Chains A and B, each alone.
Chain A
Amino acid sequence: QLQLQESGPGLVRPSETLSLTCTVSGGSISSSDYYWGWIRQPPGKGLEWIGSIYSGGSTHYNPSLKSRLTMSVDTSKNQFSLKLNSVTAADTAVFYCARAAGGSPSYFDYWGQGTQVTVSS
């Protein structure tokens, strides 16, 4: 059974860089034709797609975040990562990593449990 697990600091200072990693287990991140994505959910609000990355490194970013966002993949560790710089309180959210089921773009069939990130001094 495929499992995804987010990890990273729960507290980030304003203007600094938010860094998260998603570790995939129960399957290889590069064995099949999937994209891997990040989605966030501010407190009490809906879901926002952040971006998606292919195991080969190809990326698609939300235009609203593109100038601050970098995604990468490490196939040797079966992980993919997110870096969002110059964060503000508006970036406070639960961040989820997920597998995009097939094709590009796609829906998300496996999700991590989510990790809370708070931006505060």
Chain B
Amino acid sequence: DIQMTQSPSTLSASVGDRVTITCRASPSMSRWLAWYQQKPGKAPKLLIYKASSLESGVPSRFSGSGSETDFTLTISSLQPDDFATYYCQQYNSYPITFGGGTKVEIK
């Protein structure tokens, strides 16, 4: 199984900040990685797939990068609507696995 480790688990930031969330894969994989945003009581929303491809309708302040073992999700300028929990997910192989999540809180 590919284990996905996200860091940090919690992040405090202010509106306008540049925010980076990391996801580490073990063992290494290709670029079959997705990022999701989840707000309380809601289903996850797809942001990024194939490590860096932006899902249609997602604001361009979200970007993804990385390959092999290290992946990042970057929010270039944090907006009030972005305070949420973010998850990475690998789809390189079965079983599909998710990272533990990163909660982005208001500083």
* Residue ranges of A at the interface with B (Cβ–Cβ < 8 Å): 37, 39, 46-49, 52, 60, 62-64, 96, 98, 101, 103, 105-109, 111-114
Which chain A residues border B55 with CB–CB below 8 Å? Answer: 109
> How many residues of chain B are within 8 Å of chain A by beta carbon?
24
* Residue ranges of B at the interface with A (Cβ–Cβ < 8 Å): 1, 32, 34, 36, 42-46, 49, 55, 87, 89, 91-101
* Distance of A37 from chain B, by nearest CB (Å): 8
CA–CA, A101 and B97, complex, Å: 16
The main secondary structure of chain B at its interface with chain A is loop
* Distance of B97 from chain A, by nearest CB (Å): 7
Which chain B residues border A49 with CB–CB below 8 Å? Answer: 89, 95-98
CA–CA, A103 and B46, complex, Å: 16
Q: Is the CB of B99 within 8 A of A46?
A: yes
* Distance of B103 from chain A, by nearest CB (Å): 11
Q: Is the CB of A107 within 8 A of B89?
A: yes
CA–CA, A110 and B74, complex, Å: 22
